[in-house]
Amino acid sequence: MEFKAKDIAALLQGVVEGDGEVLVNNVSKIEEGKPHTLAFLANPKYEQYIYTTEASVVLVNHDFLPSQIVPCTLIRVPSAYEAIAVLLRMYENMRPQPCGIEQPAYIADGVEMGEAPYIGAFAYIGKGVKIGNHVKIYPQAYIGDGVTIGDHTTIYAGVKIYHGCVIGSDCTIHAGTVIGADGFGFAPSGEGYNKVAQIGNVVLEDQVEIGANACIDRATMGSTRIKKGVKLDNLVQIAHNVVVGENTVMAAQCGVAGTTKVGAHCMFGGQVGIAGHLKIEDKTMLAAQTGVTNNVAEGSVFMGAPAFDASKYRKCYVLFRKLPELYGQLRDLEKEIQTLKSKQ
């Protein structure tokens, strides 16, 4: 399908600069732009490409001020990144969507299923499962007994959801993720460890997205809870009885130990590790590979392991890089002192 620049601008409530009649039929990265495609510029690091791109139309922020002549049509919007996200969602929704129940698939007696489901081949749907409207369950997914899945949720191939877990509406769970496996609970005994039964569940609220091969463990008692709007990247581990607050995001390979409470609107970089039984307050930002062993106050920005204030960490890192030089100077001073003492 082809769209005119002026029509895209009207859809995004943007302003056209250039030829509003130019047609686009695909999208491209600005550094790899091709004729009749739409690109976007949100990060100033990529500004150089807007002067050479072959893309026909580029989305830019309202405040973008070009330093050279721009060869393409511009559409100015409040946020180019948000605008391209809107367009990509629309593009994705235009693709043909699977529907119906493929065979072979196992659906136990008593399953409640809403309108227009998609159940892929070799999927397993256990007893007492409740599935909302327009849910998609891709091949080889396992949905355990008593699971509830809300409307418009997508569960990709190979996902495993253990018994009694609750998945909200408009959620996306990517391939290979396991939800509701036992929490890591073992009681020390004289001869080893006795397993503590994990009798709780996992609750994902609405609009949660979980990346591929992530693990969210069921609670020992009660619920491990992932609140509305949370986005977890691939290979994230959430332990038993953890609570993750609304609209918090975690990059790949983060790990949160048992019973820790993470606030709302937090942002964690890759490989962040958080010890158990802690409280991470709202709007906390943790840089990649940060290791947290104590409670964190609201709005904190931490780096390092053990974690401490990011601005102090950067200053310490400057000194750390100079340690070999400083150590050499210290050894020279020690030698000079020893020489002076020997002459006394």
Distances (CA, A) of 261 to 57, 224, 281, 286, 287: 45, 10, 8, 15, 18
- Check whether residue 141 and residue 206 sit in a common domain: yes
- Check whether residue 19 and residue 35 sit in a common domain: yes
- Check whether residue 161 and residue 271 sit in a common domain: yes
Nearest to 176 by CA among 195, 189, 158: 158
pLDDT computed for residue 321 by the predictor: 85
Q: Give the pLDDT band of residue 245 (cuts 50, 70, 90).
A: very high
- Check whether residue 40 and residue 152 sit in a common domain: no
Q: What is the mean pLDDT of residues 329-340?
A: 88
- Check whether residue 124 and residue 226 sit in a common domain: yes
pLDDT computed for residue 205 by the predictor: 98
- Check whether residue 146 and residue 58 sit in a common domain: no
pLDDT digits (tens, 9 = 90+) for 282-294: 999 999 999 999 9
- Check whether residue 141 and residue 158 sit in a common domain: yes
Domain that holds residue 60: 3-94
- Check whether residue 306 and residue 327 sit in a common domain: no
pLDDT computed for residue 313 by the predictor: 83
Q: What is the mean pLDDT of residues 217-234?
A: 98
Q: How many CB atoms lie within 10 A of CB 285?
A: 17
- Check whether residue 88 and residue 138 sit in a common domain: no
In degrees, rounded to 5, the angle at the alpha carbon of residue 115 between the alpha carbons of residues 111 and 119 is 60
pLDDT computed for residue 343 by the predictor: 77
pLDDT digits (tens, 9 = 90+) for 296-308: 999 999 999 998 8
Q: Is the pLDDT confidence value at 215 over 80? A: yes
pLDDT computed for residue 96 by the predictor: 87
Catalytic residue status for 240 = yes
Provide the mean pLDDT of the chain: 95
- Check whether residue 131 and residue 261 sit in a common domain: yes
pLDDT digits (tens, 9 = 90+) for 315-332: 888 888 888 888 888 888
Q: What is the mean pLDDT of residues 96-112?
A: 94
pLDDT computed for residue 316 by the predictor: 82
Q: Is the pLDDT confidence value at 262 over 90? A: yes
pLDDT computed for residue 30 by the predictor: 96
Report the distance separating Cα 117 and Cα 231, nearest Å. 24
Last residue of a domain, one of 51, 68, 94: 94
- The percent of residues above 70 in pLDDT, for the chain, comes to 100
pLDDT digits (tens, 9 = 90+) for 36-59: 999 999 999 999 999 999 999 999
Report CA torsion sign: 13, 15, 21, 27: negative
Last residue of a domain, one of 53, 72, 94: 94
Residue of 36, 240, 265, 277 marked catalytic: 240
Q: Give the pLDDT band of residue 174 (cuts 50, 70, 90).
A: very high
Q: Give the pLDDT band of residue 94 (cuts 50, 70, 90).
A: confident
Nearest to 165 by CA among 211, 155, 100: 155
Q: Is the pLDDT confidence value at 87 over 80? A: yes
- Check whether residue 28 and residue 165 sit in a common domain: no
- Check whether residue 120 and residue 197 sit in a common domain: yes
pLDDT computed for residue 336 by the predictor: 86
Q: Give the CATH number of the domain where residue 12 resides.
A: 3.40.1390.10
pLDDT digits (tens, 9 = 90+) for 108-146: 999 999 999 999 999 999 999 999 999 999 999 999 999
Q: How many structural domains comprise the chain?
A: 3
pLDDT digits (tens, 9 = 90+) for 183-200: 999 999 888 999 999 999
